[in-house]
Amino acid sequence: MRSLKLVASLLVVFSLVCAAQTQFPDTPAGKQCAAWLETFNRGDRAALKEFRQKNYPSRAQDQDVDRELDFRQRTGGFDLRKIEDSDPTKITVLVQERGSDQFARLTMTVQADEPHPIVAIEMRAIPRPEGFSLPHLSQSELLTATRKKIEEEVAADRFSGAVLIAKDGKPIFAEAYGLADRERKIPNTVKTRFRIGSMNKMFTAVATLQLAQSGKLDLKAPVGKYLTDYPNKEIASKVTIDQLLTHTGGTGDIFGPDFDAHRLELRTLQDYINLYGARAPKFEPGTKWEYSNYGFILLGAIVEKVSGESYYDYVHEHIFVPAGMTSTASDPEDKSVSDRSVGYTKMDSPELKPNTDTLPYRGTSAGGGYSTVEDLARFADALTSHKLLDASYTEMLTTGKPGTPDNSYGYGFEVSMENGARCFGHGGGAPGMNGDLKICPGQGYVVAVLANLDPPAVRRVSDFIANRLPEK
């Protein structure tokens, strides 16, 4: 009896400590942070604007409010989980996205003088912190929980797409939800082809390493060794192939005003080089990490130069065919593709609308193709069974590299720890499209999720599954 009372007392103390950790302190920074979070979570534009005008006047323009409201719509808001650091004018807290497992670190700084206006708000997504681990489920529990989670997302119109979970190469869950075409009421199926955004980068990276494995390409060589007439001499002489693969070459993006002005004129990889090839590196190559779609355009052009084939023919013959991927390609948008879903976006619009006006002419080596969850599972199986690369090059491909954030990026593959499980793969996201592939070889699981809605429709589902995989 005495031991039971002791346990009960300890539980009371523990609950009081936890409560104290999840209450904002009575400081200027704490009060402002609490007020901002409450206003943000309401998702009311007028309230957000009023709050910013009063408390954050340096960031109270309409575009600031619209960006914040869009962020609120995409995340669903945040709940306070822990106070990490606090003083009168600065506070750092951990918050968790409502409806998902995603954590973020929020730091707010305020002025010391009354009325303590906000100087800066910084928020960065982080891996799930220690002390907030999730339980590993049995396989049957996982499938039940997954189905319930997806149904909740569908009911809230936050998910429309297909989900596949495979164990040791065999699907154990394969279901589709929502509509591929809302106007014609065509439902999604597991065979629906979804645009996959940046997931094309995995195919480009495999192609590059296939050529390196066969001795046709040197990963340490500069771009100019293969693209001998490349316009910018600094990129040609300094940026190496492995820097392109790891986003450390400083080669910049493709999206922005130039892309918007020439979107339908950019039909080949060379067209992109003609538009962006004169640019100098954004920073000294190899000194920092910055995600670069243009770097993967250059890799596609190098694959073409070294192989003597078009990028599209190469990945089809050397990746899709041996993997048995019959529904994956990057055909132009003006070509009729059976079973390809319509993408729907709320970006720049309060209502869902087709993403037609945002799409490039066709997918590239940087992204924009299409696939199915079944094909992505076949790709994962071919990769892990060494049908595409030998064991050493597969490991090279999927091992996080120094110089990337927390060594979390390999060669065209994201590398992560999902509740103790090492996984690799890649996500993709753009208006009206979202996808994710997680390959967790230690547990033998593959998770493939595709959607025809804006991000983060897919990550809410794929992270939920990966975080609860059985330990074995």
| 464 closest CA partner among 20, 158, 168 | 158
User: In the chain, which segments carry CATH 3.40.710.10?
Assistant: 145-466
Distance CA 211, CA 411 (A): 14
SS3 204: helix
Helices (H), 287-401: 293-307, 311-315, 321-323, 373-384, 391-398
User: In the chain, which segments carry CATH 3.10.450?
Assistant: 17-126
Class assignment of domain 17-126? alpha beta
Spatial CB neighbours of 5, under 8 Å, sequence gap ≥ 6: none
Q: Is the peptide bond before 332 cis (omega within 30 degrees of 0)?
A: no
**AA letter at 92:** T
Instruction: At 158, list the tokens.
Output: 């936050």
Distance CA 332, CA 300 (A): 17
Instruction: At 434, list the tokens.
Output: 């979202």
| DSSP 8-state symbol, 295 | H
Q: Is the peptide bond before 88 cis (omega within 30 degrees of 0)?
A: no
Class assignment of domain 145-466? alpha beta
Q: What tens-digit pLDDT sequence spans the chain (472 residues)?
A: 334 343 334 333 333 334 345 799 999 999 999 999 999 999 999 999 999 999 999 999 999 999 899 889 888 899 999 999 999 999 999 999 998 999 999 999 999 999 999 999 999 999 888 889 899 999 999 999 999 999 999 999 999 999 999 999 999 999 999 999 999 999 999 999 999 999 999 999 999 999 999 999 999 999 999 999 999 999 999 999 999 999 999 999 999 999 999 999 999 999 999 999 999 999 999 999 999 999 999 999 999 999 999 999 999 999 999 999 999 999 999 999 999 999 999 987 778 999 999 999 999 999 999 999 999 999 999 999 999 999 999 999 999 999 999 999 999 999 999 988 999 999 999 999 999 999 999 999 999 999 999 999 999 999 999 999 998 7
Spatial CB neighbours of 205, under 8 Å, sequence gap ≥ 6: 245, 299, 397, 410, 411, 412, 413
